[in-house]
C-alpha cells in the first residue's frame, strides 16, 4: 500500500476515534454563554431557549 494511502487511512481513523470519544458528552448541560452584539446588547443562552441555534465557527489556519 502506498505511503500516502496509509497516512490518509491513519488520519481518517484518528478522526473517527476522536469523534466517538466525544459522543458521551452529549448529556452534559450547555455551558453558560454570554456574548455582546455589535449594537452592545447582551445575549445569553437563556434568551435563546426554545429556539433553533445554528453555530458557525471560523478557525484561522
| Domain locations in the chain as residue ranges | 3-48
pLDDT of residue 15: 75
Q: What is the pLDDT of residue 12?
A: 80
Return the DSSP state at 40: S
CB 33 within 8 A of CB 44: yes
Give the C-alpha distances (Å, rounded to integers) separating 4 from 1, 8, 12, 16, 17.
Answer: 8, 6, 12, 18, 20
pLDDT value at position 60? Answer: 81
Mean pLDDT by 10 residues, the chain (61 residues): 79 72 63 85 84 83 67
| Joined grid coordinates for residue 15 | 478522526
Amino acid at each position: 500500500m502506498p505511503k500516502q494511502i496509509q497516512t490518509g487511512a491513519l488520519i481518517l481513523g484518528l478522526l473517527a476515534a476522536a469523534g466517538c470519544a466525544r459522543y458521551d458528552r452529549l448529556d452534559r448541560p450547555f455551558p453558560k454563554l454570554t456574548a455582546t452584539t455589535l449594537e452592545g446588547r447582551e445575549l445569553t443562552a437563556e434568551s435563546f431557549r426554545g429556539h433553533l441555534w445554528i453555530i458557525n465557527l471560523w478557525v484561522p489556519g
